[in-house]
Amino acid sequence: MEPTDRVRVVSLEGDSRTDREDMLAVEEPLEIRVRPGPDRKPASFVVTMRTPGQDDELAAGLLFAEGVLQSRTDLVSLDRPADPRISPEVRSNVLLATVSPEAFERAARLKRGTVMGSACGVCGKTSIDNVLPVDSPPLASSLRLSASFLYALPARLREHQSIFSKTGGLHAAALFRAVDGRLAGVCEDIGRHNATDKLVGRSLLAGELPLEDSVLMVSGRAGFEIVQKAYNAGVPIVAAVSAPSSLAVELADAGGITLVGFLRDRRFNVYTHARRVESARETMP
């Protein structure tokens, strides 16, 4: 399934009227089913709206964010349904996650009865305690970055937003290595939470978690769900093009994460743990 689609539109600009073709980002449901073995009957866990592409990464990242997967060994395989009675269109929107017995038990306790929209990063949670655990230790990272390192991130992110450049309708999340500034990966989706899940899921599948030496850069604002996903993945620095929410700042502070907002036009604000940004004033712990 393609991540973009073409439609006919009527475009008006001043007194000019044009009938032309436009390109849109695709939004389709993805049902994630879990099972404790390849011969066991799967149970539906959640249906989430997403832009097709990197579905394995999205499923892995979402299951990790929800607490179903706690390590790479919890995920045995990801497959499409093999039942020939299921149409190819439906099959492309369903993923079967074969997981460890322990992970399946966690999934059963967390089973969702709702559809998560592409703009929803917390809809699947059953309580705020699942999102903001009070007994989780803060990330103890000694990373330090210069302001110039951060200034360069928005342009580098935009350079790799290939689908956004065609549609103008997708969010993106990128990982940069703090040691050398290397771009480790970029994922796009109609939902910024999905883009982050895809990025974390890719790292989980590659056995690269925790991401202790990385910076997460997201387009748009930084809601607390983005900070929560970064914390789970061990990312000590999160930067966003737009503003953070109050709960994002609260969670970043408690979780030991340096949270940067309004990162654009060679300026930004550091909301928590500013000691990791070399030129930032050391006014926060």
State what percent of residues in the chain have pLDDT above 90: 63
Do 96 and 160 share a domain, yes or no? Answer: no
Q: Is the pLDDT of residue 187 over 80?
A: yes
- Mean pLDDT of the region 231-255: 95
**What average pLDDT does the chain have?**
87
**Residue pLDDT, tens place only, 105-117:** 999 988 655 455 5
In a domain, 99, yes or no: yes
Range of the domain at 207: 147-276
Q: Is residue 63 part of a domain?
A: yes
CA–CA dist 49, 55 (Å, integer): 11
Residue 126 has a pLDDT of 43
Domain assignment present for residue 59? The answer is yes
Question: Based on the domain organization, do 43 and 156 belong to the same domain?
Answer: no
What's the pTM? 0.86
Asked if pLDDT for residue 99 goes beyond 50, the answer is yes
Name the domain count of the chain: 2
Q: Read off the CATH number of the domain in which 202 is found.
A: 3.40.140.10
Catalytic residue numbers read 120
Residues 164 and 214 in one domain: yes
Encode pLDDT of 112-149 as tens digits. Answer: 554 555 555 544 454 445 555 556 799 989 999 999 99
Please say if the pLDDT value at position 223 is more than 60.
yes
Both tokens assigned to 105: 């038990």
Which of the listed residues 130, 161, 185 is the one where a domain comes to its end?
A: 130
Q: What is the mean pLDDT of residues 5-25?
A: 88
Reading the block at residue 170, the tokens are 């997708």
In the sheet that holds 183-189, the strands lie side by side as 183-189, 171-177, 214-218, 237-240, 258-264, 267-272
161 with 109, same domain: the answer is no
Highest mean pLDDT, choosing among 111-120, 168-177, 182-191, 266-275: 266-275
